[in-house]
Amino acid sequence: MAHWLFKTEPEEFSIADLERSPNGVTRWDGIRNYQARNFIRDKIRINDQVWLYHSKTKHKGISGLARVVKEAYPDPAQWNRQSAYFDPKSEVISPKWYCVDIQHEQTFDSVISLEQLKQDPELCDMLLLKQGRLSIQPISEPEAKHLSSLIA
Protein backbone atom coordinates (compact mmCIF):
# COMPACT_ATOMS: atom_id res chain seq x y z
CA MET A 1 0.00 0.00 0.00
CA ALA A 2 1.41 3.35 -1.07
CA HIS A 3 0.79 6.75 0.45
CA TRP A 4 -0.23 9.89 -1.41
CA LEU A 5 -0.89 13.51 -0.71
CA PHE A 6 -3.81 15.12 -2.56
CA LYS A 7 -4.05 18.88 -2.43
CA THR A 8 -7.31 20.77 -2.44
CA GLU A 9 -8.55 24.23 -1.72
CA PRO A 10 -11.18 23.78 0.99
CA GLU A 11 -13.25 26.58 -0.57
CA GLU A 12 -13.59 24.29 -3.57
CA PHE A 13 -13.68 20.90 -1.90
CA SER A 14 -12.71 20.13 1.70
CA ILE A 15 -12.39 17.05 3.88
CA ALA A 16 -15.83 17.95 5.26
CA ASP A 17 -17.24 17.89 1.73
CA LEU A 18 -15.67 14.47 1.23
CA GLU A 19 -17.18 13.22 4.48
CA ARG A 20 -20.62 14.46 3.39
CA SER A 21 -20.41 12.83 -0.04
CA PRO A 22 -22.60 9.74 -0.65
CA ASN A 23 -20.83 6.86 1.15
CA GLY A 24 -17.98 9.28 1.71
CA VAL A 25 -16.88 8.66 -1.87
CA THR A 26 -15.94 11.24 -4.46
CA ARG A 27 -14.35 11.34 -7.89
CA TRP A 28 -11.01 13.13 -7.74
CA ASP A 29 -11.28 14.77 -11.14
CA GLY A 30 -9.98 17.87 -12.86
CA ILE A 31 -6.31 16.95 -12.60
CA ARG A 32 -4.69 18.72 -15.56
CA ASN A 33 -1.01 18.39 -14.87
CA TYR A 34 1.03 15.65 -16.52
CA GLN A 35 3.12 14.70 -13.52
CA ALA A 36 0.01 14.36 -11.37
CA ARG A 37 -1.78 12.54 -14.20
CA ASN A 38 1.02 10.00 -14.43
CA PHE A 39 0.79 9.24 -10.73
CA ILE A 40 -2.95 8.77 -11.04
CA ARG A 41 -2.81 6.64 -14.17
CA ASP A 42 0.30 4.59 -13.49
CA LYS A 43 1.00 4.41 -9.78
CA ILE A 44 -2.05 4.90 -7.62
CA ARG A 45 -3.68 1.61 -6.72
CA ILE A 46 -6.80 0.52 -4.92
CA ASN A 47 -6.51 0.69 -1.12
CA ASP A 48 -3.66 3.20 -1.27
CA GLN A 49 -3.80 5.75 1.50
CA VAL A 50 -4.53 9.40 0.76
CA TRP A 51 -3.65 12.31 3.03
CA LEU A 52 -5.72 15.35 2.15
CA TYR A 53 -3.98 18.71 2.24
CA HIS A 54 -5.86 22.00 2.47
CA SER A 55 -4.13 24.80 0.56
CA LYS A 56 -4.89 28.49 0.05
CA THR A 57 -6.70 28.81 3.35
CA LYS A 58 -6.07 30.20 6.79
CA HIS A 59 -5.58 26.76 8.33
CA LYS A 60 -3.18 25.22 5.83
CA GLY A 61 -2.29 21.62 6.51
CA ILE A 62 -3.22 17.96 6.33
CA SER A 63 -6.86 17.70 7.24
CA GLY A 64 -7.71 14.03 7.08
CA LEU A 65 -7.38 10.59 5.56
CA ALA A 66 -9.01 8.80 2.68
CA ARG A 67 -8.55 5.61 0.70
CA VAL A 68 -8.48 4.85 -2.99
CA VAL A 69 -11.59 2.84 -3.83
CA LYS A 70 -11.40 2.98 -7.64
CA GLU A 71 -8.27 3.00 -9.77
CA ALA A 72 -7.61 5.23 -12.76
CA TYR A 73 -10.33 5.70 -15.35
CA PRO A 74 -10.72 8.48 -17.93
CA ASP A 75 -11.92 11.74 -16.37
CA PRO A 76 -15.35 12.31 -17.95
CA ALA A 77 -15.00 16.07 -17.47
CA GLN A 78 -12.47 16.25 -20.29
CA TRP A 79 -15.25 15.53 -22.81
CA ASN A 80 -17.92 17.68 -21.19
CA ARG A 81 -18.18 21.02 -22.98
CA GLN A 82 -19.99 22.45 -19.99
CA SER A 83 -17.15 21.61 -17.64
CA ALA A 84 -14.32 23.93 -16.66
CA TYR A 85 -12.10 20.88 -17.21
CA PHE A 86 -13.21 20.33 -20.80
CA ASP A 87 -10.25 19.58 -23.07
CA PRO A 88 -10.99 19.83 -26.80
CA LYS A 89 -7.72 18.09 -27.62
CA SER A 90 -8.58 14.91 -25.78
CA GLU A 91 -10.04 12.12 -27.88
CA VAL A 92 -12.15 9.25 -26.61
CA ILE A 93 -9.83 6.67 -28.19
CA SER A 94 -6.85 8.11 -26.33
CA PRO A 95 -7.93 9.95 -23.18
CA LYS A 96 -5.47 12.52 -21.89
CA TRP A 97 -6.75 12.83 -18.33
CA TYR A 98 -7.57 10.33 -15.62
CA CYS A 99 -9.19 10.34 -12.22
CA VAL A 100 -9.63 8.02 -9.26
CA ASP A 101 -12.35 7.66 -6.63
CA ILE A 102 -11.49 8.09 -2.97
CA GLN A 103 -13.45 7.37 0.19
CA HIS A 104 -13.37 9.36 3.40
CA GLU A 105 -11.79 7.65 6.39
CA GLN A 106 -11.02 10.27 8.97
CA THR A 107 -11.31 13.99 9.57
CA PHE A 108 -8.70 15.26 12.00
CA ASP A 109 -9.84 17.38 14.93
CA SER A 110 -7.26 19.92 13.87
CA VAL A 111 -5.11 19.97 10.76
CA ILE A 112 -1.45 18.96 10.85
CA SER A 113 -0.37 22.47 9.99
CA LEU A 114 2.04 23.48 7.27
CA GLU A 115 4.10 25.17 9.97
CA GLN A 116 4.27 21.92 11.93
CA LEU A 117 5.38 19.96 8.85
CA LYS A 118 8.16 22.46 8.17
CA GLN A 119 9.44 22.33 11.73
CA ASP A 120 9.37 18.55 12.04
CA PRO A 121 12.80 17.10 11.12
CA GLU A 122 11.10 13.91 9.90
CA LEU A 123 8.74 15.77 7.62
CA CYS A 124 10.60 18.87 6.50
CA ASP A 125 11.84 17.07 3.38
CA MET A 126 8.35 16.19 2.17
CA LEU A 127 7.81 16.92 -1.52
CA LEU A 128 5.00 19.22 -0.50
CA LEU A 129 7.54 21.65 0.91
CA LYS A 130 9.78 21.48 -2.16
CA GLN A 131 7.56 21.14 -5.18
CA GLY A 132 4.80 23.50 -4.29
CA ARG A 133 2.79 23.15 -7.45
CA LEU A 134 2.25 19.42 -7.71
CA SER A 135 -1.30 18.58 -6.64
CA ILE A 136 -0.85 14.80 -6.38
CA GLN A 137 2.36 13.59 -4.82
CA PRO A 138 3.86 10.52 -3.18
CA ILE A 139 4.56 10.36 0.56
CA SER A 140 7.41 8.09 1.61
CA GLU A 141 6.87 5.16 3.95
CA PRO A 142 8.79 6.78 6.87
CA GLU A 143 6.92 10.04 6.36
CA ALA A 144 3.59 8.24 6.37
CA LYS A 145 4.56 6.34 9.52
CA HIS A 146 5.54 9.53 11.23
CA LEU A 147 2.37 11.31 10.15
CA SER A 148 0.35 8.39 11.55
CA SER A 149 2.13 8.75 14.87
CA LEU A 150 1.04 12.38 15.05
CA ILE A 151 -2.64 11.54 14.85
CA ALA A 152 -2.60 8.42 17.00
Stretch that binds DNA, among 14-22, 63-71, 104-112, 130-138 (CB under 7 A): 130-138
- One residue of 34, 45, 59, 145 binding DNA per CB under 7 A: 34
Closest CA to 115 of 59, 50, 56, 57: 59
Of the candidates 40, 31, 5, the residue with the CA atom closest to the CA atom of residue 131: 5
Other residues' Cβ atoms within 10 Å of the Cβ of residue 10: 20
Residue 128 DSSP symbol:
G
Size of the site for DNA (CB under 7 A): 16
Residue 139's beta-bridge partner residues? 3
41 binds DNA (CB under 7 A): no
114: contact with DNA by CB under 7 A? yes
- Give 21 or 55: the residue with its C-beta nearer to DNA: 55
Shortest distance in whole angstroms from residue 87 CB to DNA: 9
* 132 touching DNA, by CB under 7 A: yes
Stretch binding DNA (CB under 7 A), from 39-47, 69-77, 99-107, 126-134: 126-134
H/E stretch holding 143: helix 141-151
List the one residue from 13, 19, 27, 35 that touches DNA (CB under 7 A).
35
- Our finding on whether 84 is near DNA (CB under 7 A) is no
| Single residue of 134, 140, 146, 151 touching DNA by CB under 7 A | 134
Nearest to 136 by CA among 15, 59, 55, 78: 55
- CA 89/CA 129 separation, integer angstroms: 33
Residue 19 CB: number of other CB atoms within 10 A?
15
Q: Which residues bind DNA (CB under 7 A)?
A: 7, 9, 33-35, 55-56, 60, 114-115, 130-135
